[in-house]
């Protein structure tokens, strides 16, 4: 138990400051005796509507949103109104669930965050550093592996700081995490001292939330403008149009760049092999050639970003070049699942126009036949990208099959119609399992089938229901059925 004042950002009167709190909660359904309840005004649910429920559950103090700082006390329950409740939540969680790591790293960007943080984690692990990564694939670490709630790339402040404290108690020394635009905008990553802040790339996504690309970029840029400390080092993709914008934000701080136009980790040449890609780089005046056992041009950039991060965290260039060839496949990221009739089948999480195009073009480089792509677009999400993705797929792939992908509360037929506006000659198969079945049936020797959009996900959202579903499982099931005939 801790006195409220010991972890609160504002000065409190003594009768409230000395209240002993045993836990923090932002869900009234989970309140227990002695908790502090933080009533967050969310996008769908306003926590202030559940203050009475929290009090009935045993909350001793309530933090709520108020334009001005205010304190009242009723029936032995303290009410504390704060002007910036999301920042306050992050602050009190950071100070209540304390943790301290040797290295804390955040990676932002439209695409590549998951692959990059996973590579960083793998490298740290391979050199014997107890470490963890946090993001779309969950919390993965030395002796730790747990999923996050659906849709969360960056956990909420409460879950994040509670998880960081658990990792610290387990002896984790280094943590690398994805920093989503939602998480940055909603201050979920506040009050964390990041040693390194990294940037992968920027393209259209999440306009259902951000409305405009400028607003979307402003949220991404917050990692470097607001979350980075004065001692934070930036690792930046030199080939992305937003490169100069980050340089301006960085001002005189240390910046390490990577890519074909980079000054530090310069990409000189890539060549596909049967087991991955042979990469040639120049790094601080020294030339290296090594194998990356992952497909996809974009994975080369993610790898260079990860190498830059790990080097700043104390691992030598030579050691990194030796370790990269041992990196394991990253779940759902241009992952080869199986083969059928002489063709190969891949799954990928690509759900933006840029990511879909890069995945298709990467596979075209290794295909000896056609590239067939199956994808859909999620409901209740950015509608502007649907026709763009249809056009992108048509221009890049040989055969395009449009299907459903987490329609949520939208009419699936309407979503497909919007995609087909950009891909009028595509095949339309509503049922995703049937689309995969028919896509596999089309395979001829040398062809590649890409099933895009869901990657590692093992669920499907339709209406307000979430049901079990996995592209990987469907693919393997279809192939087994074909071979058993």
Q: How many CB atoms lie within 10 A of CB 47?
A: 21
pLDDT of 430 reads 98
Q: Is 143's pLDDT higher than 90?
A: no
- What is the pLDDT averaged over residues 287-308? 97
- Write b or e for each residue in 178-213: b if 16 or more Cβ atoms lie within 10 A of its Cβ, otherwise e: bbbbbbbbbbbbbbbebbbbbbbbbbbbbbeebeee
pLDDT band at 117 (very low <50, low <70, confident <90, very high): very high
Mean pLDDT value across the chain: 95
C-alpha to C-alpha distance for 394 and 428, rounded to whole angstroms: 13
Residue 193 confidence (pLDDT) above 80: yes
152 pLDDT above the threshold of 70: no
Mean pLDDT, rounded, for 193-201:
97
> What mean pLDDT comes out for the span 110-136?
96
3-state secondary structure the chain: CEEHHHHCCCCCCHHHHCCEECEEECCHHHCCCCEEEECCECCCCEHHHHHHHHHHCCCCEEEEECCCCEEEEECCEEEEEECCHHHHHHHHHHHHCCCCCCEEEEEECCCCHHHHHHHHHHHHHHCCCCEEEEECCEEEECCEEECCCCCCCCCCHHHHHHHHHHHHHCCCCEEEEECCHHHHHCCCCCCCCCCEEEECCCCCCCHHHHCCHHHHHHHHHHHHHHHCCCCCEEEEECCCCCHHHHHHHHCCCCEEEEECCCCCEEEEEEEEECCEEEEEEEECCEEEEEEECCCCHHHHHHHHHHHHHHHHCCCCHHHHHHHHHHCCCCCCCCEEEEEECCEEEEEECCCCHHHHHHHHHHHHCCCCCCEEEEECCCCCCCCHHHHHHHHHHHHHCCEEEECCCCCECCCHHHHHHHHHCCCCCCEECCCHHHHHHHHHHCCCCCCEEEEECCCCCCEEEECCEEEECCHHHHHHHHHHHHHHC
> In angstroms, rounded to a whole number, what is the distance separating the alpha carbons of residues 314 and 309?
9
Average pLDDT over residues 158-168: 95
The answer to whether residue 437 scores a pLDDT higher than 70 is: yes
* 33: pLDDT strictly greater than 70: yes
Looking at the predicted structure, is the pLDDT value of residue 293 above 90? yes
Cα 189 from Cα 191, distance rounded (Å): 7
Alpha carbon 291 to its chain's center: 25
For 176, the token pair is 């690398």
How many angstroms separate the first and last alpha carbons of the chain?
Answer: 64
pLDDT at 150: 63
pLDDT for 239 beyond 70: yes
| Predicted structure pTM score | 0.93
What is the arithmetic mean of pLDDT over 251-260? 93
The model's confidence at residue 145, banded by pLDDT at 50, 70 and 90, is confident
Question: What are the φ/ψ torsions at residue 53 (nearest 5 degrees)?
Answer: -65, -40
Half-sphere exposure of 75 (CA within 13 A, CB side): 6
Task: Identify which of 295, 299, 235, 290 has the alpha carbon closest to the alpha carbon of residue 450.
Answer: 295
* Nearest to 176, CA basis, from 336, 323, 302, 349: 302
Domains and CATH numbers, the chain: 2-94 (3.40.1390.10), 98-326 (3.40.1190.10), 335-484 (3.90.190.20)
- In angstroms, rounded to a whole number, what is the distance separating the alpha carbons of residues 285 and 264? 8
């Amino acid at each position: 138990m801790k006195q409220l004042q010991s972890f609160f950002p504002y000065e409190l009167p003594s009768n409230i400051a000395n209240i002993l709190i045993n836990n923090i909660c932002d869900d009234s359904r989970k309140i227990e005796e002695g908790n502090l309840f933080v009533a967050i005004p969310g996008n769908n649910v306003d926590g202030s509507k559940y203050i009475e429920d929290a009090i009935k559950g045993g909350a001793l103090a309530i933090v709520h949103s108020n334009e001005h700082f205010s304190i009242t006390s009723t029936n032995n329950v303290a009410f504390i109104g704060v002007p910036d409740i999301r920042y306050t939540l992050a602050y009190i969680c950071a100070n209540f669930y304390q943790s301290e790591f040797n290295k804390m790293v955040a990676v932002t960007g439209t695409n590549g965050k998951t692959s990059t943080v996973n590579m960083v984690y793998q490298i740290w692990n391979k050199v014997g550093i107890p470490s963890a990564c946090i993001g779309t694939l969950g919390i993965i670490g030395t002796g730790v592996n747990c999923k996050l709630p659906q849709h969360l790339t960056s956990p909420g402040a409460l879950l994040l700081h509670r998880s960081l404290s658990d990792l610290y108690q387990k002896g984790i020394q280094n943590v690398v995490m994805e920093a989503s635009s939602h998480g940055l905008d909603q201050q979920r990553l506040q009050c964390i001292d990041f040693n390194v802040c990294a940037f992968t790339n920027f393209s259209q996504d999440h306009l259902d939330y951000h409305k405009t690309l400028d607003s979307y970029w402003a949220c991404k840029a917050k990692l470097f403008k607001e979350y980075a400390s004065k001692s934070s080092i930036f690792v930046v993709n030199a080939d992305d149009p937003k490169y100069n914008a980050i340089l301006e934000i960085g001002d005189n701080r240390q910046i390490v760049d990577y890519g074909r136009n980079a000054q530090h980790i310069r990409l000189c040449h890539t060549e596909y092999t049967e087991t991955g890609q042979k990469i040639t780089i120049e790094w601080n005046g020294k030339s290296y050639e090594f194998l990356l056992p992952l497909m996809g041009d974009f994975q080369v950039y993610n790898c260079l970003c990860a190498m830059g991060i790990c080097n700043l965290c104390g691992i030598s260039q030579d050691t990194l070049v030796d370790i990269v060839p041992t990196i394991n496949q990253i779940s759902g990221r241009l992952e080869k699942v199986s083969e059928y009739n002489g063709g190969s089948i891949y799954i990928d999480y690509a759900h933006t126009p840029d990511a879909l195009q890069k995945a298709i073009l990467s596979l075209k480089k290794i295909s000896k036949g056609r590239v067939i792509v199956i994808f859909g677009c999620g409901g209740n999400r950015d509608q502007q990208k649907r026709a763009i993705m249809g056009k992108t797929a048509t221009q890049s792939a040989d055969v395009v099959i449009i299907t459903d992908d987490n329609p949520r509360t939208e009419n699936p037929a309407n979503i497909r119609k919007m995609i087909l506006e950009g891909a009028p000659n595509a095949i339309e198969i509503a049922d995703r399992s049937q689309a995969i079945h028919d896509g596999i049936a089309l395979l001829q020797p040398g062809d590649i089938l890409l099933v895009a959009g869901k990657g590692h996900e093992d669920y499907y959202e339709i209406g307000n229901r979430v049901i079990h579903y996995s592209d990987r499982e469907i693919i393997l099931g279809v192939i087994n059925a074909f071979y058993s005939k």
